[in-house]
Amino acid sequence: MPQNISMKKLIMLTGDLPPISIVARKVMEVVNYSSTNAETLQQIISKDQGMAGHIMKIANSALYASSGKIETLTDAIVMLGFNSIRSLSIMSATKNLYKLSRNGGRIGLKDKLMWEHSVAAAIAGRIIARKVKPSYAEHAFMGGLMHDIGKLVLLKKVPDRFDHVIEEVYNTGRHFQDVEMEEFGFEHSEVGALLIKKWRLPEDLEEAIMLHHKVVAGMEIDNQLVYYIDLANKFCHKLGIGFTKEPELEIQEEISALMLGLSKNDIDELKDSIKRVCSDEMHVFL
């Protein structure tokens, strides 16, 4: 990973950032074991009541619609599947870090907008993947959720300077990465990739987060997750979810849309679906 001097200094600052929660880490480990069953996961997740409650709410949401109401955590695990449980466990752990970032555990307006954008990007990523490659849905969900995790690091470690970045973005409509380069000499995508590495999440997720603002004409990217993250992010910009609002954005002309083989009709359908689910179900994830 290329690093400039400022980036190396920030790496030193990230040393005391909280690791991913013990429960989320354990879930990530055991879902890969062939011997793991729903009861095993239920026993692990039950140790974090906040996570358990969050998973139950999401299991009964429209995004993960089932034929009937899910009454128990074990039923939720069976219905959602292990890949979904893994991504939702990480979502719950990440949500707690946003909560604890400032204000004595209370989420402020800026923090709230950042978290809402991350959740919306996760929802968008899952919806896009379900249309293009259903087996990739949870991977795209995770990518959308974590794509801006570097902003959380900056929020925790250099809050005053990052507040300046946020205000500039909000007031001028400029992109975060452009203002961050002026302020810090690096982008949140680079910082996010460092945290993903620390949390020992998949390497393709680390790479995708690093590259999600690098989708430009002529650049060859083998990691398909980059396109899902970029497109999910663009849908959020189009719908005005978060600080960046670009209602005039023509998503069907974006490179990621072309690389994923999406037509204008596909884009219109996806936009309507993402808008509807975010409007109806966002509260379940927050």
Burial call 101-110: b when 16+ CB within 10 Å, e when fewer: bbeeeebeeb
* Token pair listed for 43: 């026993």
Confidence bin at 7 (pLDDT 50/70/90): low
- Residue pair 102/159 in contact (Cβ under 8 Å)? The answer is yes
| Strand, coil or helix: 201 | coil
pLDDT of residue 13: 60
What percent of the chain is predicted at pLDDT more than 70? 89
The phi, psi pair for 164, rounded to 5°, reads -65, -40
Report the C-alpha gap between 77 and 61 in whole angstroms: 14
> Domains in the chain and their CATH numbers?
1-18+107-286 (1.10.3210.10), 20-99 (no CATH)
**pLDDT tens digits for range 50-105:** 899 988 988 888 777 666 788 899 989 988 888 889 888 988 888 877 765 555 54
The amino acid that residue 130 corresponds to is: R
Burial call 15-39: b when 16+ CB within 10 Å, e when fewer: eeeeebbebbbbbbebbeeeeeebe
